[in-house]
């Protein structure tokens, strides 16, 4: 496994039964994948590796989590990109490959900051994930000045992921 907090997979390959998936499941850490296609890449975080005790905190903070995920997406997206957000999945679709890797690393750290034992991790002053993200220098790129598409899925009332 690499030191990156995500796994790179080809869009045609299955990634659920990978070493990264099993590592995330065993360590209760965010499962983030970059799926590379022919012309772009998708970044996906899936709740599947997190234990049930994370449910309440993620659902309670869904609005802030969505805002923080949107800030990451906005930094890396191009006009063809779109965002999917719900309590158990966040997807940044159709990002340029080089941007997708950076977005995936940020998304991993964002999700980790919302997990129950995130307080034990090294958190800079300003504390919350939202405050850390808003302190990050925005990357200026003319490609991100066009309107971007947002897709937010309605939260399910079931506890199944």
Residue 61 lies in a domain: yes
The domain spanning residue 15 has which CATH number?
A: 3.30.1460
Residue 148 lies in a domain: no
Q: Are 11 and 36 in contact (CB under 8 A)?
A: yes
Considering 46-50, 100-104, 133-137, the range whose residues carry the highest mean pLDDT is 100-104
Give the pLDDT confidence of 117-137 residue by residue, as tens digits: 754 444 333 344 444 444 443
pLDDT of residue 118: 58
Q: What is the mean pLDDT of the chain?
A: 78
Phi, psi dihedral angles at 135 (to 5 degrees)? -85, -15
- The strands making up 149-152's β-sheet, listed across from edge to edge, are 7-10, 31-36, 41-46, 89-95, 82-86, 149-152
Can you give the length of the chain in residues? 161
Euclidean distance between CA atoms 135 and 119, whole angstroms: 19
Whether residue 2 has pLDDT greater than 70: no
Residue 75 lies in a domain: yes
Count up the domains in the chain and report the number: 1
Residue 41 lies in a domain: yes
Residue 30 lies in a domain: yes
- Pairing type for strands 149-152 and 82-86 reads parallel
Structural domain harbouring 14: 7-114
Euclidean distance between CA atoms 6 and 90, whole angstroms: 14
Whether residue 49 has pLDDT greater than 60: yes
Give the pLDDT confidence of 74-94 residue by residue, as tens digits: 999 999 999 999 888 999 999
pLDDT of residue 157: 45
CA distances from 4 to 11, 12, 27, 104, 156 (A): 19, 21, 15, 9, 31
pLDDT of residue 86: 84
Residue 85 lies in a domain: yes
């Amino acid at each position: 496994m690499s030191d990156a907090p995500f796994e790179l997979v080809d869009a045609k390959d299955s990634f659920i039964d990978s070493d990264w998936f099993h590592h995330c499941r065993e360590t209760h850490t965010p499962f983030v994948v970059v799926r590379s296609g022919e012309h772009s890449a998708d970044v996906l975080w899936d709740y599947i590796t997190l234990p049930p005790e994370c449910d309440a905190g993620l659902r309670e903070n869904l609005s802030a989590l969505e805002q923080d995920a949107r800030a990451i997406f906005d930094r890396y997206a191009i006009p063809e990109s779109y965002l999917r957000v719900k309590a158990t999945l966040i997807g940044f679709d159709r990002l340029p490959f080089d941007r997708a890797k950076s977005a995936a690393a940020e998304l991993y750290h964002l999700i980790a900051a919302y997990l129950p034992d995130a307080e034990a991790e090294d958190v800079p002053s300003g504390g919350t994930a939202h405050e850390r993200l808003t302190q990050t220098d925005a990357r200026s790129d003319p490609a991100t000045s066009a309107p971007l598409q947002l897709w937010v899925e309605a939260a399910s009332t079931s506890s199944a992921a």
